[in-house]
């Protein structure tokens, strides 16, 4: 005999996470997360593995330097779940706007609500500040786009490679 799980009443609990400042010691974790976030297509290329590793390292360093140049006062944080690094969050705060520079969650934690919980916290911060929450997402990152649209983000602009999205507190 099987039993059905009890029906839930009220909102589903968000996963517990904590944020801590990113340090240089996090570089190996961030590189692994960067590579995992590039998608499975990269691992299926005909590029020799050692060359692929070098390409990933170069892209990782280019992204790191690009973020530092564009957002020198960005808040760079490691997402912790149950005391273990589970992602990375980069945000920029300026008068009248909260900008999500980058968010990445480890493959083992994807689909568990961690990204949504982080975004809801950012939305709460933006609401309290009376400011919009903005971000850019790659056109080919359909999973992230679905999450952003489900949370109420709207299209604010587009380029050949990215969509600019905006959430306004109401």
pTM attached to this predicted model = 0.85
**6 confidence band (pLDDT: 50, 70, 90):** very low
Full set of structural domains in the chain with CATH: 18-167 (3.40.630.30)
State pLDDT tens for residues 20-57: 999 999 999 999 999 888 766 666 677 887 888 898 89
Q: What is the mean pLDDT of the chain?
A: 88
> What's the confidence (pLDDT) of residue 113?
92
Tokens linked to 34: 């960067």
């Amino acid at each position: 005999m099987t039993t059905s799980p009890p029906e839930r009443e009220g909102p589903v609990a968000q996963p517990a996470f904590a944020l801590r400042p990113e340090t240089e010691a996090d570089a190996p974790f961030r590189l692994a997360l960067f590579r995992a976030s590039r998608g499975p297509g990269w691992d299926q290329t005909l590029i020799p593995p050692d060359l692929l590793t070098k390409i990933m390292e170069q892209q990782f360093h280019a992204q790191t330097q690009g973020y530092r140049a564009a957002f020198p006062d960005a808040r760079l944080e490691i997402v912790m779940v149950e005391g273990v690094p589970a992602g990375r969050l980069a945000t920029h705060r300026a008068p009248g706007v909260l900008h999500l520079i980058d968010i990445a969650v480890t493959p083992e934690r994807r689909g568990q609500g961690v990204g949504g919980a982080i975004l809801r916290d950012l939305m709460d911060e933006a609401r309290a500040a009376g400011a919009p929450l903005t971000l850019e997402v790659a056109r080919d990152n359909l999973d992230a786009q679905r999450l952003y649209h489900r949370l109420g983000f709207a299209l604010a602009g587009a380029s050949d490679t990215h969509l600019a999205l905006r959430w306004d507190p109401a």
